[in-house]
């Protein structure tokens, strides 16, 4: 256990450009970074074009401007709270997010939500690659296919470099993103009657809750990997300050982008679909300025798409290591995982680029059903019971404290999914109770509350043996 002074020192690993750590514990001597870097990372991850598209969906799918803006903000705050609570775990544990799920689900059982996380990474990477590929194609005057492939190659390079490079790109992207959005908002308010859009109000509970679901799902979907990018912070870092740095960066960035998307979709009408990037840039920009905006869109996607690629590598490594009883991942395997996951998402992007908007909507809403129960169980366990008192070596031992499968937690997780199905409304599936609620989708609310409450009650009645402190692995050397 290091002192606060020793945790602030930057060890040899921290100075390396190419990261070699993966799902193993980050020792105190290698901890580094600042809370400001957490803020800029999550600001840049959200201040980008996919968030604009998500906000636009609130209007495309039937909402008005005024109530959509309010609903999106409420969803941001709820989802952002869940996301930031996960992020605050990173410095305390020094572990990536999903491997800590072995405490709740067992060494093998954690593979169940992790496989679903990998599907999420592929979907979000593909959707982001479509938009960044469009911007790259416009900027370089090449085909969309070429633009998508070039962008994917850059993602592979940054993901292989790892943690420090991702945070460095995040700082640059946050500056570029702020400048681009200031310009686009200035053009929007200068050349269009925003007051008239706000004055047209027709409240609909179904549309209001749909907008809330869009922004809440956006934030909650970061939960499975947000701690991956705070785990190198010194262990003495305040959890409350980590929560605020991560949460404010994510909520401010996403809300700003989604507000712009709402106005853009309201102005565009039916012209928005299939031409999202071109329409956004065309709102008052042409020539050299348009080229700069295309560049900012492509660069803005670097951060979050690299997060998805890095997270997919960590998740795949977590699944494989569970059945091989290993914590460390070789550089060669790291390269294979990264190229494989980016390659799959690129193929999905190329195959689905012509129907992006519709398929993306269905994907992010349906995905909520699988991540809200996991978030609820993980957060209740961490903040109400274990409170960072993890046995880190046991996370890699199927015969250890956490066992192979935690049937109780897995059953509660399944309950959290099932309880949502009657209330879910997406183009992929619509539950039987949706019509009775006027088309309102409240599934994600139940997905947070029900498994969280049931898990809390189950743990109170039969508490597991929890260590009295954080048990760390013995570090060689």
What ranges in 221-326 are assigned the alpha helix state H?
Answer: 239-268, 276-282, 287-324
The CATH number that applies at residue 179 is 1.10.4160.10
Supply the pLDDT for residue 34: 92
State residue 425 phi and psi, 5-degree precision: -135, 100
Stated as kind and residue range, the H or E segment containing 468 is none
Helix residue spans in 61-110 (DSSP H): 65-87, 89-93, 102-105
CB proximity list for 324: less than 8 A, separation 6 or greater: none
What is the domain extent for residue 59?
4-368
9, with CB counted inside 10 A (0-12, 13-18, 19+), is: middle
Buried b (16+ CB within 10 A) or exposed e, 318-341: bbebbeeeebebeeebbeebbbeb
324 token code pair: 């091989």
Q: Is residue 432 assigned to a domain? A: no
φ, ψ for residue 471, nearest 5 deg = -100, 120
Q: Which residues contact 4 (CB under 8 A, 6 or more apart)?
A: 234, 236
Q: Which residues, at least 6 apart from 100, have a Cβ–Cβ distance to it below 8 Å?
A: 89, 93, 227, 378, 382, 390, 395
Closest to 85 in 3D by CA, of 222, 268, 265: 222
pLDDT attached to residue 6: 35
Could you identify the residue written with the tokens 């969906």? 57
Q: What is the structure's pLDDT at 79? A: 94
| 423 vs 20: CA distance, rounded Å | 44
CA 351/CA 154 separation, integer angstroms = 20
Of residues 157, 155, 136, the one with CA closest to residue 147: 136
Tokens 């803020």 appear where? 39
- Classify residue 438: in a domain, yes or no: no
Residue 451 lies in a domain: no
Whether 92 is in a domain gets the answer yes
Residue 474 lies in a domain: no
Closest CA relative to residue 163, chosen from 259, 41, 49? 41
Are 214 and 364 within 8 A, CB to CB?
yes
Contacts of 269 (CB under 8 A, 6+ apart): none
pLDDT reported for residue 8: 37
Q: What is the pLDDT along the chain (477 residues), one digit of tens a residue?
A: 333 333 334 444 445 677 878 888 899 889 999 999 999 999 999 988 888 888 988 988 888 899 999 999 999 999 999 999 999 999 999 998 888 899 999 999 999 988 888 887 787 788 778 878 877 888 888 888 899 999 999 999 999 998 899 999 999 999 998 998 898 888 888 888 888 888 888 888 888 988 998 899 889 989 888 999 999 999 999 999 999 999 999 999 999 999 998 998 888 766 665 556 666 766 656 667 777 777 777 787 888 888 888 888 888 888 888 777 666 677 787 888 889 888 988 988 888 776 655 666 566 667 778 889 999 999 999 999 998 899 988 988 888 899 999 999 999 999 999 999 998 887 778 888 888 777 777 888 899 999 999 999 999 998 878 888 888 886 543
Alpha carbon 272 to chain centroid, angstroms: 25
Domain assignment of residue 377, yes or no: no
Name every residue whose Cβ is closer than 8 Å to that of residue 409 and which is 6 or more positions away in sequence.
Answer: 104, 105, 106, 109, 377, 455
**Whole-angstrom Cα Rg for the chain:** 22
Flag whether 393 is in a domain.
no
3-state secondary structure the chain: CCCHHHHCCCCHHHHCCCCCCCCCCCCHHHCCCCHHHHHHHHHHHHCCHHHHHHHHHHHHCCCCHHHHHHHHHHHHHHHHHHHHHHHCHHHHHCCCCHHHHHHHHCCCCCHHHHHHHHHHHHHHHHHHHHHHHHHHHHHHCCCHHHHHHHHHHHHHHHHHHCHHHHHHHHHHHHHHHHHHHHHHHHHHHHHCCHHHHHHCCCCCHHHHHHHHHHHHHHHHCCCCCHHHHCCCCCCCCCHHHHHHHHHHHHHHHHHHHHHHHHHHHHHHHHHCCCCHHHHHHHCCCCHHHHHHHHHHHHHHHHHHHHHHHHHHHHHHHHHHHHHHCCCCCCHHHHHHHHHHHHHHHHHHHHHHHHHHHHHHHHHHHHHHHHHHHHHHHHHHHHHHHHCCCCECHHHHCCCCCCCCCCHHHHHHHHHHHHCCHHHCECCCCECCCCHHHCCCCCHHHHHHHHHHHHHHHHHHHCCCCCCCCCECCCCCC
Distance CA 23, CA 397 (A): 14
Q: What is the DSSP letter of 386?
A: I
Beta-bridge partner residues of 471? 391
| Confidence (pTM) | 0.87
Q: What are phi and psi of 430, to 5 degrees?
A: -130, 125
Query: Based on the structure, what is the number of domains in the chain?
Result: 1
For 75, list phi and psi in degrees, rounded to 5.
-60, -40
Q: Is residue 143 part of a domain?
A: yes
């Amino acid at each position: 256990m290091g002192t606060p002074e020793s945790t602030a020192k930057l060890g040899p690993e921290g100075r390396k450009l190419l990261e070699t750590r993966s799902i193993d514990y980050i020792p105190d001597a290698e901890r580094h970074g600042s809370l400001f870097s957490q803020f800029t990372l999550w600001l840049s991850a959200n201040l980008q074009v996919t968030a604009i598209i998500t906000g636009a969906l609130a209007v495309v799918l039937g909402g008005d401007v005024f109530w959509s803006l309010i609903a999106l903000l409420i969803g941001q705050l709820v989802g952002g709270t869940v996301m930031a609570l996960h992020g605050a775990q990173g410095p305390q544990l020094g572990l990536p997010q999903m491997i800590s799920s072995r405490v709740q689900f067992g060494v093998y059982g954690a593979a169940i939500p992790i496989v679903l996380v990998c599907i999420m990474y592929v979907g979000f990477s593909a959707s982001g690659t479509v938009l960044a590929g469009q911007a790259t194609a416009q900027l370089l005057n090449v085909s969309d296919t070429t633009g998508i492939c070039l962008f994917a190659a850059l993602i592979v390079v940054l993901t292989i470099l790892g943690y420090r490079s991702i945070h460095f790109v995040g700082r640059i992207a946050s500056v570029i993103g702020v400048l681009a959005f200031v310009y686009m908002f200035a053009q929007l308010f200068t050349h269009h009657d925003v007051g008239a859009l706000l004055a047209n109000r027709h409240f609909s509970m179904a549309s209001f809750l749909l907008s809330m679901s869009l922004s809440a799902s956006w934030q909650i979907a970061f939960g499975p990997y947000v701690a991956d990018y705070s785990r190198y912070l010194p262990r003495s870092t305040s959890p409350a300050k980590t929560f605020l740095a991560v949460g404010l960066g994510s909520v401010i960035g996403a809300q700003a982008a989604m507000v712009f998307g709402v106005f853009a979709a309201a102005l565009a009408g039916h012209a928005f679909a299939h031409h999202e990037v071109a329409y956004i840039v065309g709102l008052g920009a042409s020539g050299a300025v348009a080229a700069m905006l295309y560049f900012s869109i492509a660069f803005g996607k670097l951060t979050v798409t690299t997060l998805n690629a890095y997270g997919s590598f960590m998740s795949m490594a977590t699944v494989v290591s569970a059945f091989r009883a290993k914590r460390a991942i070789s550089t060669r395997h790291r390269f294979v995982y990264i190229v494989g996951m980016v390659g799959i998402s690129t193929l999905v992007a190329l195959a689905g680029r012509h129907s992006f908007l519709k398929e993306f909507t269905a994907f992010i809403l349906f995905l909520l059903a699988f991540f809200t129960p996991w978030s609820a169980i993980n957060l209740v366990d961490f903040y109400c019971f274990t409170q960072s008192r993890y046995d880190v070596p046991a996370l890699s031992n199927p015969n250890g404290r956490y066992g192979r499968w935690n049937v109780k937690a897995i059953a509660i997780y399944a309950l959290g999914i099932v309880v949502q199905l009657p209330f879910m409304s997406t183009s992929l599936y619509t539950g039987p109770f949706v019509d009775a609620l006027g088309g309102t989708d409240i599934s994600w609310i139940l997905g947070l509350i029900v498994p969280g409450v049931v898990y809390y009650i189950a743990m109170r009645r039969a508490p597991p043996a929890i260590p009295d402190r954080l048990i760390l692995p013995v570090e060689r050397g």
